[in-house]
Chain A
Amino acid sequence: MKYMKRINLCLATCILSACGGGGGGGDSTSEPSTVTQVTVAAEPSPVTVVDEPEATASATQEIQVPDGFTLAANYTVSLEVDLESVNSQRISLSVCTDFSTVDSLVSINYDSCLLKASTNNGLFSSDLEVGNALDSLILAIGIFGESSAVDYRIWERVGSEPYVFSVR
């Protein structure tokens, strides 16, 4: 289920969530996770080409697993929504993983949603389990009214756990 939505450009990027230390490795620079009110990919990111690493073990049986590592497939993102001052009426919240923003168009595959929720007071929180291969999420905020509308927030994984998707 995909749709395209034209949105107004707003390049205000809000760094709203903090990173923590330790955990399962990750980027040693430990930059914070970011929440972008509206993200537009004006230019493609430069691509770094690296050689594909070769498996050095001749069999999985030879691989030494670090102590305590469970091969978990996912990580946790805490969604914290506080739009109390913005929305005093019921809003819907959908967090999805498959989306694109190209030339001010947002396209979301709603089959990829991790959360479907609503709130009457603008407040909501929930933990979400996200597959390891995914590095960004989008929140679609449904605003009810005579002329309903949809607003968006984008979260990108930076740094290491704990990850917080904070929306204010």
Chain B
Amino acid sequence: MDYLRKVFLRSTVFSACICATVSSAEPFQNCPTEAFLVQSGVAKLYGVQLATGHYQLLSSDMGTSSKLNAIAFNFHDNYLYAWSKEFGTLVKIGTDYQASALETSNNPDATFYVGDISLEDNIYYAYRPGSSYGLYAYNLDESEEDYLRAVKIVSGDDLSLNIFDFAFHPFNHYAYSVDRNGVLHRIDVELGIDTALNNVGESGTFGAVYFDVDGHLYISRNSDGYIFRVDVNDATPLAEFYAYGPSSSNNDGARCAMAPIVDVEISNIDFGDAPDSYFSSLENNGARHGLLGSTLYLGEGVDSESDSFIHPLSDDETGIDDDDGVGFVSGIEVGEDSIVEVSAVGSGFLNAWIDWDQNGVFDTDEKIISGQSLTEGNNVITYSVPISAKVGDTWSRFRYSSTELIEASGGVSDGEVEDYSVTVTETGVSTVFYPSENSWSTLAFEDNWPSIGDYDFNDLVIHYRTAISTKNGAVRRIRVLGQVAAVGASYHNGFAIHLPGILRSQIDEARIQFTVNRADQAESPLESGPSEAILIAFLDAWDYVTPGEDCKYHRTESGCGSSIQMDFSITVPFVNAIPLAQMPTTPFDPFMFATPGKPHNPALGNNPGRSLEIHLKNHAPTSVFNIDYLGRRDDRSNGVQEQYFLSENGMPWAIHVANKWRYPKEYMDVIYAYPHFQSFISSAGGQDGDWYLEGRAQLQNTFSQ
């Protein structure tokens, strides 16, 4: 940052200082993020949040009966300066918003409406086109000889620009503006030379222009209030729509160019949280809504952020789920109508998009709801799914605000944006989910089989859910999703899903979709070798997760919390649809196995690898399992009676519960975390079927972040 570099004007001798009326008001806070906008025939001052276009009246009485123009924020003293039509001179404005006239001298006979203050030198530059005017400098440094004396830099004949405001770049000492025709200008204020850069693609009267600390120029169009962002450092700078701001026939703006566009210490904006290709983050001009004074939102509330929590770091996963206003009543089937119910607070307008072609962008023709007026309460809305929609997962965005027609990105002054991951299916396809479309069940393993372990059921913990897609009574595909929730074991373990009764040859392997941490995997999860269908989610959990600092395991010990580090998704289409009666019921046959080449229970010899499997109780092992292991140590499997992976007392080495389970912490026997586990078992499930819920737990004995 060389903005403090002293610059010497090439002007001639300056006259002595003329004393000024000093404002008694306090300066503004150090370099505020909000912009200032002055409007109206009798000046009114507004504060503008450029990120959203939200504005609020700061003062309707600025101590003048006429216009203020050419307003500028002075980085050197944190006061506003402007040109007063009533006083015919510069005025200084502090936190009382009162315009105090300064005793300038050598003024041309002009009312300026273009002006700003350089960040390098404490000099106010004012401009007006025309042969009688031009570009002038007013030194604001009281210690300088030319303090408040107008110094003409260049005549309006030599610098003829059709501009209505300009702003100084935070670092390069050039002033920039966009003229009525959309041409971006860079002005060397010391030499009075203009360089026309290129046409930014938007035209009109840009009465207020601002910079931020990243060198983005913001231009506000008087006619519609639209705020555009221009990256002046780009080879061919273009205007990007940024926010819906206030419109006015008389506009002039000022801002501290050293301030970021959003103060990270202040959270008063709602952002979308879809992947950033959909324009969610602030940097990427993401969809965002101002919350200051806003009374519009969807569902039961809206939370505030200083930037987007991009999926999968969505605050809906990690904090309060405020994406709660849109209910997908029906599935989304290609070529059919679909229904959403939208719960609105306050009367406004809904605009919504679904990325039908799954190209990662909400294209203009993917707008499903446009300017739909909603009333407070529940609103049933039908939209059409195009015949061209691509089957599979995609994203949707719903934006609610008082502005009728808005785009999928950019800021708006009020309301809320909610992003949802959705799944498009073929016409007539029904999908059965377990435990539901967007919740988890849990698989918890003791990995010391065939020896009884400590029953903390956290040696390997998998969050798990399934979806079965059916048409005309036959299964077209299944999907399993999982997360590694915990690894409380030193042994190295893998995880797989067996589809009992289904052959691997019945699976259309080439069309399997397999992702790990949302990245497509090149290798097929379908295990080669055995004839049955076995899907290998991972060979070794420790390849994907790490213990916490000073921790031995992953997410099982007190003080060893971390975020989920591994998730997977496997979508398995079938060559020919499988009759529903032949399909195994959910959760299918999930199991853990020993990582090949890694040691395990000594009772099984050296490195049993895939020959060791641990299944849910009475789920038969696959053909890869070494059946010689059955019956060793504490295992009492009996293949003839179809009893597998149970102890003398009938206890399993793996359990499955139908929620995102708070499993026991390390070395904690499950019955001390969940006392009703015993009565659930003793009653053969007749009692305490809800034993696994948090409300039935001794939470101090469970793992928590």
Q: List the interface of chain A (C-beta within 8 A of B).
A: 1-6, 24-26, 52-57, 59-74, 76, 90, 92-94, 96-98, 108-118, 120, 124, 126-134, 140, 142, 144, 148-150
Q: Do A65 and B649 contact each other (CB < 8 Å), given the known contacts A114-B434, A142-B330?
A: yes
B158 interface hit (Cβ, 8 Å) = no
Q: Which residue of A lies closest to B657 (CB)?
A: A73
Q: Mark B284-322, 1 if CB is under 8 A from A, else 0.
A: 000000000000000110000000000000000000000
Tell me, yes or no, whether B519 is within 8 Å of chain A by CB.
Answer: no
Other A-B pairs beyond A3-B325, A111-B438, A132-B685, 10, CB < 8 Å: A5-B341, A70-B617, A73-B658, A73-B692, A109-B324, A116-B330, A118-B336, A129-B585, A133-B690, A150-B329
Residues of chain A contacted by B684 (CB below 8 angstroms): 24-25, 66, 68-69
Contacts of A69 in B (CB 8 A): 650, 681, 684-685
Stretch at the interface among B122-130, B563-571, B668-676: B668-676
Report the bound CA distance from A25 to B647 in whole Å.
23
The answer, yes or no, to whether B253 is at the interface (CB within 8 Å) is no
What are some 22 contacts across the A-B interface (CB < 8 A)? A1-B325, A2-B325, A2-B343, A3-B325, A3-B341, A4-B377, A57-B678, A61-B452, A61-B455, A61-B647, A69-B685, A73-B656, A73-B657, A92-B329, A113-B433, A113-B436, A117-B331, A129-B434, A130-B658, A144-B382, A148-B339, A150-B339
Do A116 and B671 form a contact, CB below 8 Å, given A92-B330, A92-B331, A142-B329?
A: no
Instruction: Give the CA-CA distance A129 to B656 in the complex, in Å.
Output: 13
List which B426-466 residues lie within 8 A (CB) of chain A: 428, 430-439, 441, 452, 455
Residues facing A in B188-240 (CB within 8 A) are none
Contact A92 to B678, CB < 8 A, known contacts A25-B685, A66-B684, A133-B692:
no
Instruction: Report whether A60 and B671 are in contact in the complex, using a CB–CB cutoff of 8 Å.
Output: yes
Q: Across the interface, which residues of B come within 8 angstroms of A130, CB to CB?
A: 658
Q: Distance (Å) between the CB of B135 and the closest chain A CB?
A: 57
CB distance from B347 to the nearest CB of A (A): 16
Interface residue B361 (Cβ < 8 Å from any Cβ of A) = no
The reply to whether the CB of B337 lies closer than 8 angstroms to some CB of chain A is yes
| A92 partner residues in chain B, CB cutoff 8 A | 329-331, 338-339
Q: Are A149 and B436 in contact (CB under 8 A)?
A: no
Across the interface, do A144 and B685 meet the contact criterion of CB distance under 8 Å? no
Given known A-B contacts A60-B651, A144-B339, A144-B382, A73 and B441 have beta carbons under 8 A apart: yes
B441, A131: Cβ atoms closer than 8 Å: yes
Q: Is B586 an interface residue when CB atoms closer than 8 A count as contact?
A: yes
User: Looking across the interface, which residue of chain A has its beta carbon closest to that of B341?
Assistant: A3
CA separation between A81 and B687, bound complex, in Å? 30
Which residues of B486-525 are within 8 A (CB) of A? none
Q: Which 3 A-B pairs have the closest CB atoms?
A: A25-B686, A131-B658, A65-B650
Shortest CB-to-CB span from A113 to chain B, Å, is: 5
Q: Are B323 and A1 in contact (CB under 8 A)?
A: yes
Tell yes or no: B107 within 8 A of A by CB.
no
Contact: A26 with B686, CB < 8 Å? yes
Interchain CB contact under 8 A, A65 and B431 = no
- Chain A residues lying within 8 Å of B651, measured Cβ to Cβ, are 60-61, 63, 65
Q: How far is the CA of A110 from the CA of B331 in the complex (A)?
A: 11
User: A residues within 8 A CB of B682?
Assistant: 63-64, 66
Is there a chain A Cβ closer than 8 Å to B274's Cβ?
A: no
Query: Within 8 Å CB of A150, what residues of B?
Result: 329, 339, 341, 380
Complex interface: chain B residues within 8 A of A97 (CB): 435-436
CB distance from B516 to the nearest CB of A (A): 23
Contacts of A94 in B (CB 8 A): 328-331
CB-CB under 8 A from A2, the residues of chain B are 299-300, 324-325, 327, 343
Complex Cα distance, B329 from A149, in Å, reads: 10
B631 touches A (CB below 8 Å): no
Chain B residues numbered 679-705 whose CB sits less than 8 Å from any CB in chain A: 679-687, 689-690, 692-693
Please, which residues of chain A bring their CB within 8 A of the CB of B428?
118, 120
* A74/B434 in contact, CB under 8 A: yes
Q: How many angstroms from the CA of A26 to the CA of B452 in the assembled complex?
A: 30
Give complex CA distance A66, B686 in Å: 11
| Nearest chain B CB to A1 CB, angstrom units | 5
One of B300, B432, B686 near A128 (C-beta < 8 A): B432
**Which chain B positions have C-beta within 8 A of A110?**
327-329, 437
B433 partner residues in chain A, CB cutoff 8 A: 113-116
Give the residues in chain B near A128, CB-CB below 8 Å. 432
Chain A residues with Cβ below 8 Å from B687 are: 25
Per-residue CB contact flags for chain B residues 347-390 toward chain A (1 = under 8 Å, else 0) read: 00000000000000000000000000000011011100000000
**B417 to chain A: which residues have CB within 8 Å?**
none
Q: Within 8 Å of chain A (Cβ to Cβ): is B655?
A: yes
Of all chain B residues, the one with the shortest Cβ separation from A64 is B649
Name the residue of chain A whose CB is nearest to the CB of B652: A71
Residue among A25, A90, A92 with the most chain B CB within 10 A? A92
List B contacts of A5 (CB < 8 A): 341, 378
Interface pair A131/B380, CB less than 8 Å apart: no
Is B70 among interface residues, defined by CB-CB distance under 8 A? no
Q: Mark B273-285, 1 if CB is under 8 A from A, else 0.
A: 0000000000000
Contact between A1 and B328, CB atoms less than 8 A apart: yes
Chain A hits for B337, CB < 8 A: 90, 144, 148
> Which residue of A has the minimal Cβ distance to B675?
A55
Q: Provided the pairs A3-B327, A144-B339, A150-B329 are in contact, do residues A25 and B683 lie with their beta carbons within 8 angstroms? A: yes
Shortest Cβ gap from A117 to chain B (Å): 3
Contacts of A73 in B (CB 8 A): 441, 655-658, 692
Q: Which of B432, B616, B617, B672 contacts A114 (CB 8 A)?
A: B432
Q: Are B420 and A1 in contact, CB atoms less than 8 angstroms apart?
A: yes
Cβ of B179 within 8 Å of any chain A Cβ, yes or no, is no
A165 to B651, CA, bound (A): 33
Q: Smallest Cβ distance from A33 to chain B, in angstroms?
A: 15
Q: Is B659 an interface residue (CB 8 A)?
A: yes
**Chain B proximity of A7: nearest CB distance (Å):** 10
Q: Is the CB of A70 within 8 A of B616?
A: yes
**Contact indicator B681/A63 (Cβ below 8 Å):** yes
Set of chain A residues within 8 Å of B81, measured between Cβ atoms: none
Docked complex Cα distance between A39 and B675 (Å): 34
CB proximity of A147 to chain B, nearest CB, Å: 8
List B contacts of A64 (CB < 8 A).
649-650, 682
B161 sits at the interface (CB 8 A): no
State A150–B692 Cα separation when bound (angstroms): 34
Docked-complex contact B678 and A56, CB < 8 angstroms: yes
By the criterion CB–CB under 8 Å, are A71 and B655 in contact? yes
Q: Is B646 an interface residue (CB 8 A)?
A: yes
Considering the chains assembled together, what is the distance between the CA atoms of A62 and B470 in angstroms? 43
Partner of B689, one of A65, A93, A124, A133: A133
A157 vs B223: C-alpha distance when bound (angstroms): 62
The answer, yes or no, to whether B244 is at the interface (CB within 8 Å) is no
CB distance A112 to B439 under 8 Å? yes
Question: Using Cβ atoms and an 8 Å threshold, which residues of chain A touch B436?
Answer: 96-98, 111-114
